[in-house]
Amino acid sequence: MENIVLIGHGSPKKEANTIGLIGDLLHSAIHPGCGEQCVKVAYLQFAEPGIRETIKECVRGGARRIIVHPFFLNAGMHVTKDIPEVIAEARDMYRDVEFIYTEPLGIHEKLIQVIMERIRSATFESPADIETRSFEIISEEIDLGDVPEEQLPIVKRVIHATADFEFRRSLVFHPDAVRTGIGTIRAGKSILTDIEMVRAGINKKLLARWGGEAVCMITDEEVVRTSEETGMTRSEISIEKGLSGNVGIIAIGNAPTALLKAVELLAKAPADRPLPLIVGVPVGFVKALESKALLAAQRFPFITNLSRKGGTPVAVAIVNALLKMAEGSGE
């Protein structure tokens, strides 16, 4: 068994001792999905755990090979003397354990990239600057060349909202989805949401330019009463009630039951009736993927993602992307 130990200097200021976050990121990078504590952290001084304590924990856990990395920029006294002395003690104590001591961060070309990124970030003075740079980073880190042009602003905004490139593969669009979404916005129709958080995240300033509004019926007194009387969820009842209005987009980011109800109602609608776009991206382990798979099989316009992931940020990102596209500003 092998353990990796990251060693930071440590600070009397508690909030400055964040090497644990680096350890978590390293563990995720080299052992994705692993539930063991393969990567551990220690501090030279001012903070716990110390190096000796961490090495002892590794040995007790069965480690027979311990890789020690000094998370320092330069090879000063701590790196060349203090830490090696502790490792030498450990070698004498645990003779059946192999110890490997790496170089510090030192001079590396990738550090230059980090510095350049910090410099660019420091020059951003407005949220718009940050957003622009974020979209540039997305384009640099993933090839979106095969994404249809009309879908590209939506895919990029979802990735921007979630920092999750998986949505590049999991987002699914009905052929008429984007055209329908933009058309209903420009027609001044409303956007019906399953929960208040989705409604709150929608760019109402852009929506109001066309005369539409964002609506959520989940706290409506009649909806609450009907839910108590029937045992149905408020979200599905609110969708049914809300559809009686002038709705052009149904945005569901939380409740699979709301999505199932929306699919049921639109599937029964007359074939010659213009139907709203369903943005159905509920998140979760129960019925979320199943409801989205059902949506993806429908003939009416939809945007969804075939995975357990989703939620309010995804639903809001899709709707806001459509609003920007309706305005003609793309991203």
pLDDT in tens, 70-108: 999 988 999 999 999 999 999 999 999 999 999 999 888
**Structural domain boundaries in the chain:** 2-101, 127-327
**CATH superfamily, region 127-327:** Cobalamin biosynthesis CobH/CbiC, precorrin-8X methylmutase (3.40.50.10230)
Alpha-carbon torsion (223, 224, 227, 230), positive or negative: negative
| Cα–Cα distance measured from residue 25 to residue 23, given in angstroms and rounded to the nearest whole number | 5
Work out whether strand 277-280 and strand 2-8 pair parallel, antiparallel, or are unpaired. Answer: unpaired
**CATH match for 2-101 among 1.10.10.10, 3.40.50.1400, 3.40.50.720, 3.40.1710.10:** 3.40.50.1400
pLDDT band at 184 (very low <50, low <70, confident <90, very high): very high
| Cα–Cα distance measured from residue 331 to residue 323, given in angstroms and rounded to the nearest whole number | 10
DSSP symbol at 50:
B
Average pLDDT, the chain: 91
Burial of residue 172 (number of CB atoms within 10 Å: 0-12, 13-18, 19+) = middle
Residues 6 or more apart in contact with residue 178 via CB below 8 angstroms: 150, 151, 154, 322, 325
pLDDT band at 330 (very low <50, low <70, confident <90, very high): low
Which active-site residues does the annotation give? 160
DSSP states along 247-272: EEEEEESS-HHHHHHHHHHHHTS-TT
| Cα–Cα distance measured from residue 21 to residue 286, given in angstroms and rounded to the nearest whole number | 30
Tokens of 97: 């354990």
The structure's pTM equals: 0.67
